[in-house]
Amino acid sequence: MAVKRIAPSANSPKSNRKDFFNPPRLLLISFVLILLPASLVLMIPGVTTSPLSFTDALFTATSALTVTGLTTVDTARHFTIWGELFILLMIQIGGLGKVTLSMLILLAFGRRIGLTQRNLLQEELNQNQTTQITKLIKAILLFAFAFELVGAAIMAIEFVPQHGWKNGLYYSIFHSVSAFNNAGFALFDDSLADFQHTPLIPLTIAALFIVGGIGYTVILDVFTHREKRPLQLHTKITLSTTAFLLLFGTMGILIIESDRTGTLAHMDLSTQLLNAFFQAASARTAGFNTVPITSLHHGSLLLMMVLMFIGAGSTSTGGGIKVSTFAVALIATRSFLVGEDKFHAFKRNISSWTVLRAFTVIVVSCFTLALAMLFLMITEDADFSIVMFETISAFSTVGFSTGLTPNLTEFGKITVCFIMFIGRLGPLTLAYLLTTPMRTAVQYPTDDVFTG
């Protein structure tokens, strides 16, 4: 049966002008407009302590803008304070979120935020009104800056006595912004290993990246929650699944690492629990560590890969397939296994389109990861498990490294840049960018396909 496919006309200048700033392309343009100039800035002599190649500059800029935290050069040693401040600015911009960032790009270029862009932001932030977009962006910025300021003030209690007022406040601000935006950049050689016995810094940083990783949608819903307006289903799913993943990850790492001399064996039980919790929470796209990643058991690394792949909440500063995607897939799987034809949670039905979208995100993400791992296994001299861990870390914008990233080949660095970029942009956004929507004028008869 012949099918007539209808695509947008390529001969209409008006249509082309309208479609040029479609949402996926707008996101891509937003990142590129910032990424390339930022890479050049990081090569300026006053920004670095020694010459930096364009590849390393591009890698650092990509890692900062995608709030990943992977580095090919040591941040504290290779950059001056101006370089560190510029990286911090990139982290803050990247942490705003891809849609909010696109809106700011339009405003900066004097363009009016059209209905398409307003609908995109409405969908991303799960809002019912599209008329207060400017106020919504301001509210997001205000919340982010306020939380970062509070985090910096708390960490100053520890950093100022150790490093003095000037350096102490600087360390507090830098790590607060890096933590809230789930970036994982630290100014210490061993990340936060020096603070594994002092709860204040790990717990403050954990609170920052957990709140930042929940997502602006959930935050707005919680803050506007009233007795007559219950929490949205998305909020309930995100909060409950996040709590489960934190508990599951903490207990898993604690059980595996409690008797290992290179990680938790030398600590008392409360300190073990603190560090196990921190590593489990950080694996959900933050990238800070209080114990050496290279010393972890393979079981812990596998558990962390699962947590990294799931990631943080939708519309958050974190990456991964997102907590809600994982939860919807589990709900759909349960419904199929018990023979239900509806998908529901918390006494609310979930649409079939949402379920289809969740599985599409998982499939596209798995395909992207497999392709990236194949490239890195060809170009890099490293074990399969190390390549797998590093690839998932980059895709989920986590920033954990087992030591492969600083030793990547030039092709490997470019590959990881693409992985971080796709991970932050979102696999579905990339798929939309590379495909052309088609509508069919007929319906086909239904037939069966054997699966499983």
pLDDT tens-digit readout, 389-447? 999 999 999 989 888 998 999 999 999 999 998 888 777 676 666 665 556 667 778 77
Chain mean pLDDT for the chain: 83
Q: How far apart are CA 52 and CA 54, in angstroms?
A: 7
- Average pLDDT on 36-61 reads 91
Contact in structure between 400 and 386 (CB atoms under 8 Å): no
- Average pLDDT on 207-214 reads 90
Q: Is the pLDDT of residue 235 over 60?
A: yes
Per-residue pLDDT, 232: 86
Task: Give residue 373's region: left, alpha or beta (phi > 0; psi -120 to 50).
Answer: alpha
Contact in structure between 216 and 101 (CB atoms under 8 Å): no
Q: E strands of 94-226, at which residues?
A: none
CA 50-54-59 angle, to 5 degrees, is: 95
Per-residue pLDDT, 300: 93
Q: Is the pLDDT of residue 85 over 90?
A: yes
Confidence of residue 223 (pLDDT cuts 50, 70, 90): confident
Q: Is the pLDDT of residue 226 over 70?
A: no
Q: How far apart are CA 210 and CA 180, in angstroms?
A: 8
Instruction: Determine the longest span between alpha carbons in the chain, in angstroms.
Output: 77
Domain boundaries, the chain: 21-436
The DSSP bridge pattern shows strands 343-345 and 439-440 to be unpaired
Convert the pLDDT of each residue in 314-355 to its tens digit. Answer: 878 788 899 999 999 999 999 999 888 888 888 888 988 889
Q: How far apart are CA 273 and CA 264, in angstroms?
A: 9
